[in-house]
Amino acid sequence: MIELTIDGKRIEAEKGMTILEVAKANNIYIPHLCWDRRLKPYGGCRLCLVEVEGQRKLMAACSTPADNGMVIHTDTPNLQKARRTVLELLLVHHPLDCPVCDKAGECRLQDLAYKYGPSESRFYAERKHDPEATSALIERNPNRCILCGRCVRVCWEHQGVGAINFIGRGFKTKISPAFEETLDCEFCGQCVDACPVGALGAKPYKYRARAWFLESHDSICPYCSVGCTLTLDLREGRILRVRGVDGKGVNDGDLCGKGRFGFDFIYGDTRLKTPLVRKAGELVESTWEETLYYVANRLRDIKRQYGADSIGAIGSARAGIEDNYMLKKFMKEVIGSDNIDTSARLGYAWVLRALNDTYGINQNPIKLDSPIGKEVVLVLESDLTSTHPIFGLKFLEAKNEGTYLMVADPRKTKLARRSSKWIRIKPASGTVFLLGLINYAIREGAHLREEKEIEGIDGLIESVKPYTPEKVSELIGVDTEQFIEAASRFVNAETRLIALTVGAAENQKGYETVLAAANLLMLLGEGPDSLQVPSDYSNTLGAWLSGTRPTEGGKDLYEMLYNPGSLKALYVMGEDPLVTMPDGNTVKKTLEELEFLVVQDIRLSETAKLADVVLPAAAWSEKEGTFINSQGIPQPFPKVVSPQGDSVPDWQILRNLARVMEHDLGITELGKLREELSRIQTDRGQQRWRFSPVEVPSVAQTTTDYPIIMVTGNIMQHSGALSVMSKSLSHVLSDAFVQISPEDAERFGVKDGEFIKISSPLGEVFIKARVSDEIPEGMLFVPVHFAHARVNYLVSHSRLGNAHPTPVKIESTSTATPRR
Rounded CA-CA distance 740/192 in Å is: 32
Give whichever of 104 and 700 is closer to other proteins, judged by the CB atom: 104
* Least gap, CB of 117 to other proteins (angstroms): 13
Give 560-615 as a 3 state SS string. HHCCCCCCCEEEEECCCHHHHCCCHHHHHHHHHHCCEEEEEECECCCCHHHCCEEE
Size of the site for other proteins (CB under 8 A): 21
Give whichever of 97 and 695 is closer to other proteins, judged by the CB atom: 97
Give whichever of 124 and 704 is closer to other proteins, judged by the CB atom: 124
* Least gap, CB of 31 to other proteins (angstroms): 20
DSSP 8-state symbol, 740: E
Q: What is the footprint of other proteins within residues 189-208 (CB under 8 A)?
A: 206-208
Annotate each residue in 495-524 with x if it binds other proteins (CB under 8 A) or - if it does not, as one string: ------------------------------
Give whichever of 16 and 237 is closer to other proteins, judged by the CB atom: 237
Give whichever of 205 and 440 is closer to other proteins, judged by the CB atom: 205
* Least gap, CB of 106 to other proteins (angstroms): 13
Rounded CA-CA distance 594/169 in Å is: 69
* Least gap, CB of 717 to other proteins (angstroms): 22
Question: Is the distance from CB of 759 to CB of 710 less than 8 angstroms?
Answer: no
Using CA atoms, how far residue 214 sits from 231, 241, 255, 642, in Å, is 11, 10, 20, 17
* Least gap, CB of 210 to other proteins (angstroms): 4
Give whichever of 166 and 213 is closer to other proteins, judged by the CB atom: 213
* Least gap, CB of 713 to other proteins (angstroms): 35
* Among 698, 777, 786, residue whose Cα is nearest residue 744: 777
CB burial string 458-480: b at 16+ within 10 A, e below: eebbebbeebebebbbebbbbee
* Least gap, CB of 82 to other proteins (angstroms): 13
Give whichever of 76 and 817 is closer to other proteins, judged by the CB atom: 76
User: What is the full DSSP assignment across 208-256?
Assistant: T--GGG-EEEEEE-SSBTT-PEEEEEEETTEEEEEE--TT-TTTTT---
* Among 367, 346, 344, 364, residue whose Cα is nearest residue 356: 364
From start to end of 92-163, where are the E strands?
A: 133-134, 138-140
Give whichever of 71 and 104 is closer to other proteins, judged by the CB atom: 104
* Least gap, CB of 214 to other proteins (angstroms): 11
Q: Which residues contact 819 (CB under 8 A, 6 or more apart)?
A: none
In this chain, which of 29, 114, 171, 213 binds other proteins, going by CB under 8 A?
A: 213
Neighbours of 58 (CB within 10 A): 17
Partners of 571 in beta bridges: 313, 598
* Least gap, CB of 204 to other proteins (angstroms): 10
Give whichever of 27 and 119 is closer to other proteins, judged by the CB atom: 119
In this chain, which of 212, 494, 818, 819 binds other proteins, going by CB under 8 A?
A: 212
DSSP element (H, E) containing 50: strand 49-52
Give whichever of 130 and 474 is closer to other proteins, judged by the CB atom: 130
* Least gap, CB of 118 to other proteins (angstroms): 9
Q: Which residues contact 282 (CB under 8 A, 6 or more apart)?
A: none
CB burial string 514-534: b at 16+ within 10 A, e below: bbbbbbbbbbbebebebbbbb
Give whichever of 84 and 278 is closer to other proteins, judged by the CB atom: 84
Give whichever of 105 and 469 is closer to other proteins, judged by the CB atom: 105
Q: What is the footprint of other proteins within residues 112-151 (CB under 8 A)?
A: 119-120, 122-124, 127, 132, 134
Burial of 683 (C-beta count, 10 Å sphere; 0-12/13-18/19+): exposed
Angle between helices 480-491 and 469-476 (to 10 degrees): 110
167 lies in the site for other proteins, by CB under 8 A: no
Neighbours of 159 (CB within 10 A): 26
Give whichever of 107 and 313 is closer to other proteins, judged by the CB atom: 107
* Among 422, 448, 440, residue whose Cα is nearest residue 516: 440
Give whichever of 54 and 99 is closer to other proteins, judged by the CB atom: 99
* Least gap, CB of 150 to other proteins (angstroms): 24
Q: What is the footprint of other proteins within residues 90-109 (CB under 8 A)?
A: 96, 98-100, 104-105
Annotate each residue in 48-87 with x if it binds other proteins (CB under 8 A) or - if it does not, as one string: ----------------------------------------
Residue 634 phi/psi, 5-degree rounding, is -75, 125
Give whichever of 99 and 671 is closer to other proteins, judged by the CB atom: 99
* Least gap, CB of 768 to other proteins (angstroms): 30
* Least gap, CB of 132 to other proteins (angstroms): 6
* Least gap, CB of 110 to other proteins (angstroms): 12
Reduced to 3 states, what is the DSSP secondary structure of residue 29?
A: coil
From start to end of 401-529, where are the E strands?
A: 404-408, 421-423, 496-499
Using CA atoms, how far residue 332 sits from 306, 500, 554, 556, 651, in Å, is 17, 35, 11, 14, 15
Rounded CA-CA distance 571/789 in Å is: 25
Strand order in the sheet with 71-73: 9-13, 2-6, 71-73, 49-52, 59-60
Q: What is the footprint of other proteins within residues 222-261 (CB under 8 A)?
A: none
Rg of the chain over CA atoms, in angstroms?
29
* Least gap, CB of 209 to other proteins (angstroms): 8
* Least gap, CB of 85 to other proteins (angstroms): 10
Using CA atoms, how far residue 488 sits from 255, 409, 434, 462, 478, in Å, is 36, 18, 13, 21, 15
Rounded CA-CA distance 199/130 in Å is: 12
Give whichever of 179 and 212 is closer to other proteins, judged by the CB atom: 212
Residues that bind other proteins (CB under 8 A): 96, 98-100, 104-105, 119-120, 122-124, 127, 132, 134, 206-210, 212-213
